[in-house]
Amino acid sequence: MHANLFLSMEYNFSEIEKKWQKAWEENGVYTVSNESDKPHYYVLDMFPYPSGAGLHVGHPLGYIASDIYSRYKRLKGFNVLHPMGFDSYGLPAEQYAIQTGQHPEKTTFENIDRYISQLKKIGFCYDWNREVRTCDPKFYKWTQWAFVQMFNSYFDPKTQKAQPISKLIAEFEANDPKWATLSEREKQERLMNYRIAYLADTKVNWCPKLGTVLANDEVSEGLSVRGGYPVEQRVMRQWCLRVSAYAGRLLEGLERIDWTESLKETQRNWIGRSEGAEMQFAVKGQDAPFTIFTTRADTVFGVTFMVLAPESEYVQRVVTPEQKAEVDAYLARCKNRTERERIADRKVTGVFTGSYAINPLTQGEIPIYISDYVLAGYGTGAIMAVPAHDSRDYAFAKHFNLPIIPLIEGADVSEESFDAKEGKMINSGFLNGMEVKDAIQAMKEYITNTGIGRVKVNYRLRDAIFSRQRYWGEPFPVYYKDGMPYTLPEESLPLELPEVSAFLPTETGEPPLGNAAIWAWDEKNKKVVDKSLIDNKTIFPLELCTMPGFAGSSAYYLRYMDPHNDQALVDKNVNAYWRQVDLYLGGSEHATGHLIYSRFWNKFLYDLGYICEDEPFKKLINQGMIQGRSNFVYRYIGEGATGNLYISYNLIENPEYKDKVQPIHVNVNIVNNDVLDINAFRAWMPEFKNAEFVFADGTSSELTGYTAGAKQYICGWAVEKMSKSMFNVVNPDDVIAKFGADTLRLYEMFLGPLEMSKPWDTNGIDGVHRFLKRLWNMYENITDEEPTKEELRSLHKLIKKITWDIENFSFNTSIPAFMIAQNELSALKCSKRAILEPIAVLLAPYAPHIAEEMWHRCQAIGKKVSSENFIDLQASLDEVRSFVVNAEWPECNEAYLVEDTQKYPVQFNGKVRFTLECPKDTPKEEVEKLVLAHEDTSKYLAGNTPKKIIVVPGRIVNIVM
RNA sequence: GCGGCAUUGGCGGAAUUGGUAGACGCGCCAGACUUAGGAUCUGGUUCCGAAAGGAGUGAAAGUUCGAGUCUUUUAUGCCGCACCA
């Protein structure tokens, strides 16, 4: 007996899905070529970190949307690149390794395998030949390569471009006589100030007990979140990337990309451009002035004190011997606080340095203070304080009893500062009478002309710290000679992650790579050798830090274009074909991290001429989060409670139970339509084994001796994050087993608009599953009859709708459109190939498996294959060697949509009273006459004469009385 | 504090250029079939009202013949940023 496809009309989704997934794979249907006459289109999903928990039903949302779009583009005749890979370096695997001793690679690969099998079941059109993993040496070779390029480059402010560092060296040699006199080390130190990847001393949260650096959100109130150990601020030499150099271009580039306004705004805020002025303030009794940055140059006449950041290099210069002890005490206090704590604590603190600055305009002497409300990392780390017009300065002035001089007419500064940039200037010398806006401009000109300062643009964006004291990341291709870093030659890449005896920091506090025995660089033989051989002559120590998570994800989209190329990150011609990602889909949580870093990385590679586009992601869409929908049972905790009795949700407001129940999360997988599966609940956990219930009807299981049956226990519910601890995680594998991948795909889209966050509620899934079944039934006896006008109208309405929906990423509205078409056509008892075949193509992006099956049924009819022949699966495949995947998207013929008549809703004073049907293209005047002649019109006019009759052709009639 | 997004039946949501608010689905109600069912099919389902009719898209105001949609104010929720000079 052959595998019987077409005789049984039951919708056997698991057979259908398995069959076509296999057929697609065997025929390489999703393999994408870099050479094609077709127009190119690149659809990318943000690649996942393969966590140990596997995919839940929220993860594939964006993947399904991008898959629909990819399949649509393909049907429209594009060569579509749609790859998938794994962001596979990261902390969870390392943490797990520390706990269990298992190598992170092992667990990572296991997790990836699980992800792949889960993803494959959903039927995505990924070209798996192009899969990348960031932890694969073949991949991270190019991460390391990019780092070396950054090390060997500097940012030229004149051209606003990265340039080879050799150019800078040549410039030094030509123009700076001192250069030649410098030692090799001194030269290297000087170059370090320019390199795009550079070493710098940075402040980090150091936890001595854990022997590691912690991120800000891993620290709470001076203690590590994990373990609760003390955390101190420590200066460490770390690799940094000069992202800030690109601030201007990163900001400007936003104008040219099609991202949501909210995302662009987030990036603008993050980059934080502010236009202001740098000004010199002389210090009384000293030669050297110091420089401050201000956006309110117009307020110089109101400066009553100066403030330095505690870390400012000016501090030691201006502190007087009398004040030294007090200043040192204050600095010590600041040092032990994390940046976050300083921000969180809004108490005014500060200390007087003992010195005075001279106001360059009034020549008045003003005291210089130190306070941690001024940040070292922004501007120059020093400010002029104008308490009348800045709330932070105001608070400080009040606290230390410093004068407050109002500079704007009518501004009341007795209670708070006047921060708005509006009004007329007073107390401001030559600025008096000007509007603030003009005063800022006038002052900028003044300071430029007099040379006491200059106009300056400042950015908030900081350089990225690029070192991590971790094991599971890309090693830096760097070794140290005389304390200075040198990069490995390009041909020696990748520098592979070594084996270590332990994944923890060493006893001396070195990063985990300090545990590697074979971790030294033999410069002569260009290979990694045993650490014991280090002689600092030809064999040198290698860098012990690894790169952070964003390293591997910053250019992966380029690698997909040419994933097996071992000569280049991406071949120039290949890059010139695909150019950039046309559509990028992912979560908004990456708005400031990944999406800034990869734009930076891309611009850098663009500057060096390796790639042809300045921006990586042309269009970007954020999919919303899928939230969980939790269920609760209510344990009775009132008088006489046994801790064993659960009250049905509909009763908990009754006086006897009100405030006497405790909600407990219950596994959503043993709840159906909010009705608890009693037996499953009793079996779920030992503590519920003897659970008794008060059911929805008020009867109690104790009394009835109930075990399972018709009585219902109703659960409460709430929308919460989808997480294990809430017992509301739904696994796509389970959904697929029960309903099939096509139903899952459809339902995910049906839930709501792509960009919105929305709760997952498995309850509604029956609806779309039923729809697929009904549609499926229409493909039983397909005929070649001529379709009727009505059938064609249904079809073309659908074509128009689905096309519009996909072009506008409105996937949720497509499912109802399919349902409506199915309803209409099944009412017409339509079984015609001319209708059903295009519908299969329309459905293919959304539900590819069932669509493929439907399409082949139609094809078989068309080819007049005898029924004996196409009963056999393989025979039918051999016979019809094409797939719906490669079909052609149907065109909407507007002619079919034209109706003969026009229905006009007729409003009286804006309220619809009846509808009038008249022939299409009835002239306005005629419609008006028809309405007035209508039998009901006089009733609604109620004796009034119409003041005005509005007829919008093809739309509506409104009679104003 | 700043910025962004949202708010429509019992629930998810639809309404694409301002033109019949509540499509479609879930749930619920009634019926049919089947003697259990969480199967299938048919009809109903915004609210108030027996009906006629009235009210209605978080709230208030405005523009308009006409507002869920545009404008202003405001409330609530979610997300992001935050002593940025």
Please determine, for residue A868, whether its predicted confidence score (pLDDT) is greater than 50: no
Q: What is the reported pLDDT for A759?
A: 87
Q: What is the nearest nucleotide to A958, using C1' and CA?
A: B65
For the CA atoms of A577, A582, A585, A591, the dihedral, rounded to the nearest 10 degrees, stands at: 100
- CA-based nearest residue to A377, from A313, A299, A450: A313
Q: What is the reported pLDDT for A864?
A: 47
Q: What is the nearest nucleotide to A260, using C1' and CA?
A: B4
Alpha carbon distance A163, A159 (integer Å): 9
| Out of A94-108, A308-322, A480-494, A692-706, least confident range | A692-706
Q: Which two tokens stand for residue A128?
A: 């798996």
Confidence of residue A494 (pLDDT cuts 50, 70, 90): very high
* DSSP state at residue A125: -
Q: Which two tokens stand for residue A249?
A: 């271009």
Q: What is the nearest nucleotide to A673, using C1' and CA?
A: B27
- CA-based nearest residue to A89, from A127, A137, A160, A42: A137
Bases of chain B below 7 A from a protein C-beta are 3-6, 11-16, 19-21, 23-28, 38-41, 54, 65-67, 78-85
Mean pLDDT of chain A: 88
| Out of A212-226, A457-471, A871-885, least confident range | A871-885
**Helix or strand holding residue A487 (H, E):** strand A484-487
β A901-908/A956-960 pair status: parallel
**Closest protein residue to B67 (Cα–C1'):** A910
ipTM over 0.90: yes
- CA-based nearest residue to A732, from A722, A721, A719, A717: A722
**Helix or strand holding residue A480 (H, E):** strand A478-481
| Out of A17-31, A658-672, A844-858, least confident range | A658-672
Nearest-10 crossing angle of helices A814-827, A833-843: 160
Alpha carbon distance A858, A839 (integer Å): 11
Which residues are within 8 A (CB) of A498 and not within 5 positions of it... i.e. 6 or more apart?
A: A475, A513, A516, A517, A518, A519, A528
For the CA atoms of A174, A605, A469, A487, the dihedral, rounded to the nearest 10 degrees, stands at: -40
Chain segment A607-643, per-residue pLDDT in tens: 999 999 999 999 999 988 888 888 899 999 988 888 8
| Out of A158-172, A332-346, A557-571, A675-689, least confident range | A332-346
**Closest protein residue to B82 (Cα–C1'):** A343
Confidence of residue A838 (pLDDT cuts 50, 70, 90): very high
**Closest protein residue to B37 (Cα–C1'):** A710
Confidence of residue A660 (pLDDT cuts 50, 70, 90): confident
Q: What is the reported pLDDT for A4?
A: 36
The residue-averaged pLDDT of A738-752 equals 95
The rounded radius of gyration (Å) of the Cα atoms in chain A is: 35
Confidence of residue A408 (pLDDT cuts 50, 70, 90): confident
Chain segment A809-836, per-residue pLDDT in tens: 999 999 999 999 999 999 888 989 999 9
Say how many C-beta atoms besides its own lie within 10 A of residue A761's C-beta: 18
What is the CA A911 to C1' B55 distance in angstroms? Answer: 13
The residue-averaged pLDDT of A843-870 equals 76
Alpha carbon distance A627, A759 (integer Å): 4
What does A887-898 look like in DSSP terms, one character per residue?
S-PPPP-GGGG-
**Closest protein residue to B4 (Cα–C1'):** A262
What is the CA A904 to C1' B67 distance in angstroms? Answer: 20
Q: What is the reported pLDDT for A602?
A: 95
| H helix intervals, A504-593 | 549-553, 556-559, 572-578
Please determine, for residue A425, whether its predicted confidence score (pLDDT) is greater than 60: yes
The residue-averaged pLDDT of A847-870 equals 73
Residue A402: Cβ-neighbour burial (10 angstroms; 0-12, 13-18, 19+): middle
Q: CA of A884: how far to CAs of A670, A775, A822, in Å?
A: 38, 17, 20
Alpha carbon A915 to its chain centroid, in Å, reads: 49
**Closest protein residue to B14 (Cα–C1'):** A813
What type of residue is A73?
A: K
Alpha carbon distance A69, A63 (integer Å): 10
Confidence of residue A869 (pLDDT cuts 50, 70, 90): very low
Alpha carbon distance A295, A439 (integer Å): 12
What is the CA A426 to C1' B62 distance in angstroms? Answer: 39
Q: CA of A813: how far to CAs of A340, A753, A802, A848, A894, in Å?
A: 44, 8, 8, 18, 20
What does A67-82 look like in DSSP terms, one character per residue?
HHHHHHHHHTT-EEE-
* DSSP state at residue A890: P
User: A943 and A954 in contact (C-beta within 8 Å)?
Assistant: no
Chain segment A15-71, per-residue pLDDT in tens: 999 999 999 999 999 999 999 999 999 999 999 999 888 898 989 999 999 999 999
Please determine, for residue A512, whether its predicted confidence score (pLDDT) is greater than 90: yes
Please give the model's pTM, rounded to 2 decimal places: 0.91
Q: What is the reported pLDDT for A82?
A: 97
Q: What is the nearest nucleotide to A952, using C1' and CA?
A: B19
Alpha carbon distance A321, A909 (integer Å): 85
The residue-averaged pLDDT of A178-197 equals 94
Q: What is the nearest nucleotide to A807, using C1' and CA?
A: B16
What is the CA A265 to C1' B3 distance in angstroms? Answer: 7
The residue-averaged pLDDT of A182-186 equals 93
Confidence of residue A106 (pLDDT cuts 50, 70, 90): very high
